[in-house]
Amino acid sequence: MKLYRPTEECGIFGIYGHPEAANLTYLGLYALQHRGQEACGIVSSDGRSLHVHRSMGLVADVFGDQAIFRNLPGEAAIGHVRYSTTGDSVTKNVQPIKVDYSRGSIAVAHNGNLVNAQMVKDELEAWGSIFQTTMDTEVILHLLASSKQNALEDRIAEALGRLKGAYCLLFLTETRMVAARDPQGFRPLCLGKLGDGWVVASESCALDLIEAEFIREVEPGEVIVITKDGITSHFPLKKSEAAPCIFEFVYFARPDSYIFGKNVYMVRKDFGRQLAREHQVDADIVIPVPDSGVPAALGYAQEAGLPFELGLIRNHYIGRTFIEPQQSIRHFGVKIKLNPVREILEGKRVVVIDDSIVRGTTSRKIVKMVRNAGAKEVHVRISSPPTSYPCYYGIDTPTRKELISSSHTIEEIRRYITADSLGYLSEEGLLKAVGAGENPFCKACFSGNYPITFPKLAAAPQLDLF
Ligand code: AMP
């Protein structure tokens, strides 16, 4: 039996009512590349049929040939960037997925992870459905196709009613585009306007690139139907307490984006300020682990009154090492990605700021690198609490066993990464910085409190460090 793989980290973009729909979708995906680097695709509609181009690879490579756009005609298009976890890195799993069924064609692009996909799939198979991919997203299309409802929005509402978990979805038919966000609003999704056309994107940085106007965020539980007559908004699902993902602010979203009512850069800077209040240390300079640690390091340096320096230089022409599918590449990755600046570090007491420690391998290599470049002391500060629990809602975190803080104390982690001191931002500090008084967040990766229950959480087995 083929088990379903979560869709994991992804970005989605769609545009309706623009003569250059596929071209603009390409640009939108380019701005969302940080959300997934393994594969991408675009489906366009010319009003009569859907056209597809999808492949493994980066956006600029997959859509590098201008001729491709001649085969993506029409004034509406949706696109997807994807990263999957291990296995199943095959073209049939690249999104958007398009199917033809009794009522025409439909394509879907999904960001998030459905926690009950396997259960629904088993049921559907028992009724005779045949699945083509190993993505949880395909379940949605089968539910849509088997719905007895007439109107597309009713079929979508019925399908969504069966789903549990995190999803931001974009559907495209010959004549419509539909955007949907789960009732908890785990992942970000925003709505924009470009001329007479409508745009939907995972993050606002994609709107900025194509000079679309940011209108608002798609609300948790909202379904927006876009046709040539304009947009209509629906709330077909039972209301739930919102639980947007705090890790989008910590690491995943781009700092220039506006998500969950806030600018990511400003939030990260506040994480850094709060971190400085909680974990002061006598030091000479503050350096970030680029790029994810930069805004927090600026906040830390300003609050602590210490100089901010770029002690590590990043090669920008490689992807995020963590989300390369092969283990061997990840280990080698830190060196390909970062190089220390000896002139900045030599003889200094250095505070190194990163956004998170997952397995601990990156921090260990960075501390070694900074020390080898002549630093006298290396103090590591992390602008989020210890990541002790895996995410089931679309962020690619490893199993509990591989998460260093699930089975080790902060002192043990400090010794493992060989830092002179180690301090994490507290959960209270994180929530204070993000203004969580007004908004609840999903912070299951730190607290283990999952807003939607997930089949059986294994106890964390001990990870041997030394
Ligand atoms: P590790 O070596 O496993 O401890 O990885 C820690 C590094 O991975 C940090 O520098 C983070 O910026 C980065 N990171 C944390 N979470 C993720 C994620 N879900 N995907 C990709 N990179 C991540």
DSSP 89-106: -SGGG-SSEEEEETTEEE
pLDDT of 458 above 50: no
The residues spanned by each domain of the chain are 7-242, 266-443
For ligand 1, the distance from its centroid to the CA atom of residue 357, given in whole angstroms, is 6
Binding site residue list for Mg(2+): 292, 354-355
Better pLDDT: 102 or 332? 102
Which of 258-267, 407-416, 450-459 is least confident?
450-459
> Which amino acid residue places its CA nearest to atom 11 of ligand 1?
356
**289, 362, 366, best to mutate for ligand 1 pocket (most atoms within 8 Å of CB):** 362
* Residue 110 parent element (H or E): strand 104-114
CA of 19 to the centre of ligand 1 (A): 39
Position 30, amino acid: Y
**For residue 404, which atom of ligand 1 is closest to its CA?**
4
Q: Quote the radius of gyration of the chain (alpha carbons, Å).
A: 22
Domain topology for 7-242: Glutamine Phosphoribosylpyrophosphate, subunit 1, domain 1 (3.60.20)
- pLDDT surpassing 80 at residue 8: no
pLDDT (average), residues 343-354: 98
Pocket of ligand 1 (CB under 6 A): 251, 289, 292, 320, 322-323, 354-363, 395-397
Which three-class secondary structure state does DSSP give residue 8?
strand
**Residues classed as catalytic:** 10
Over 90: is that where the pLDDT of 365 sits?
A: yes
Close Cβ partners of 282 (under 8 Å, ≥ 6 residues apart) = 349
pLDDT for position 226: 98
**In the structure, what pLDDT confidence band is assigned to residue 124 with cuts at 50, 70 and 90?**
confident
Distance 294 CA to ligand 1 centre (A): 14
Look at residue 86 in the predicted model and tell me its pLDDT. 37
The residue contributing the CA closest to ligand 1 atom 9 is 356
Which helix (DSSP H) or strand (DSSP E) does residue 22 occupy?
helix 21-31
Strands lying side by side in the sheet with 177-181: 97-101, 104-114, 165-172, 177-181, 223-227, 230-234
Work out the pLDDT band at 196, boundaries 50, 70, 90: very high
| Index of the ligand 1 atom closest to the CA of residue 334 | 2
Under CATH, what is the fold of the domain 266-443?
Rossmann fold (3.40.50)
The angle that helices 427-434 and 264-278 make with each other, rounded to 10 degrees, is: 140
Q: What's the mean per-residue pLDDT of the chain?
A: 90
Q: Which residues contact 64 (CB under 8 A, 6 or more apart)?
A: none
Instruction: Please state, as a whole number, how many other Cβ atoms lie within 10 Å of the Cβ of residue 236.
Output: 15
The ligand 1 atom at the shortest distance from the C-alpha of residue 355 is: 12
Per residue in 294-322, pLDDT (tens digit) is: 999 999 999 999 999 999 999 887 654 44
Q: Which pLDDT band holds residue 88 (cuts at 50, 70, 90)?
A: low
- Whether 266-443 and 7-242 are alike in CATH topology: the answer is no
Beta bridge partners of 4: none
Contacts of 276 (CB under 8 A, 6+ apart): 299, 300, 301, 303, 304, 381
Asked if the peptide bond before residue 255 counts as cis, ω within 30 degrees of 0, the response is no
Q: Based on the number of CB atoms within 10 Å of its own CB, is 1 exposed (0-12), middle (13-18) or buried (19 or more)?
A: exposed
Can you tell me the mean pLDDT for 357-361? 93
Q: Enumerate the known binding-site residues.
A: 245, 292, 354-355, 391, 442, 445
**Which atom of ligand 1 is found nearest the CA of 330?**
2
| E strand map for 133-280 | 165-172, 177-181, 190-194, 197-201, 213-217, 223-227, 230-234, 258-259, 262-263
Residue 332 has pLDDT above 70, yes or no: no
pTM summary value: 0.92
Please report, rounded to a whole number, the percentage of residues in the chain having pLDDT higher than 70: 90
Ligand 1 centroid from CA 123, angstroms? 36
Instruction: Output the CA 274–ligand 1 centroid distance in Å.
Output: 21
Is the confidence at residue 347, as pLDDT, over 70? yes
- pLDDT mean over 105-130: 88
Rounded to the nearest angstrom, the gap between the alpha carbon of residue 406 and the centroid of all alpha carbons in its chain is 22
